[in-house]
């Protein structure tokens, strides 16, 4: 628990750095890239997820009529599982793509913070 609190305070100290005027300008582009990619991923997931889930589950065939009670239980559970899997795939894909695209700008941000920590002008 102590490490969690220590990590949380370090994260808050890091957030205070992005509010500094000479550092803030290096934050805008990576932040914009992340917001744009995240909005695109959520939009695509929201638009196509129901179609994907319906295609994966398929139509109810005649033999399911014998097990109507099982169909009524299995389909909602399977739908939730598929949606959770799609959200996880979108999350990890977002992280990888966002880090890849924002890497050059993050390097500039890290350089500016290091210069500021060393007492040099940015």
Per the CB < 8 A criterion, the answer to whether 26 and 109 are in contact is yes
| Residue 97 CB partners (closer than 8 Å, separation 6+) | 37
Choose among 3, 31, 23: nearest CA to 113.
Answer: 23
pLDDT band at residue 122 using 50, 70 and 90 as cut-offs: low
> How far is residue 58's CA from residue 62's CA, in Å, rounded to a whole number?
12
| Residue 65 CB partners (closer than 8 Å, separation 6+) | none
pLDDT in tens, 13-26: 888 888 888 888 88
pLDDT band at residue 10 using 50, 70 and 90 as cut-offs: confident
Residue 61 pLDDT:
63
Domain positions in the chain: 2-117
pTM: 0.59
Percent of the chain residues topping a pLDDT of 70: 90
* pLDDT(4) > 80: yes
pLDDT band at residue 75 using 50, 70 and 90 as cut-offs: confident
Q: Quick one: average pLDDT of 90-118?
A: 85
> How far is residue 122's CA from residue 110's CA, in Å, rounded to a whole number?
11
Residue 66 pLDDT:
67
pLDDT band at residue 88 using 50, 70 and 90 as cut-offs: confident
Q: Quick one: average pLDDT of 45-64?
A: 72
């Amino acid at each position: 628990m102590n490490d969690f609190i220590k990590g949380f305070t370090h994260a808050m100290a890091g957030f205070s750095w992005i509010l500094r005027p000479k550092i803030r300008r290096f934050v805008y582009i990576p932040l914009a890239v992340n917001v744009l990619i995240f909005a695109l991923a959520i939009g695509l997931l929201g638009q196509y997820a129901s179609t994907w889930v319906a295609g994966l589950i398929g139509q109810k065939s005649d033999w399911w009529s014998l097990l109507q009670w099982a169909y009524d239980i299995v389909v909602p559970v399977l739908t939730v599982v598929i949606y959770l899997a799609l959200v996880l795939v979108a999350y990890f894909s977002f992280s990888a793509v966002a880090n890849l695209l924002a890497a050059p700008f993050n390097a500039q941000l890290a350089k500016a913070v290091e210069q500021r920590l060393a007492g040099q002008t940015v």
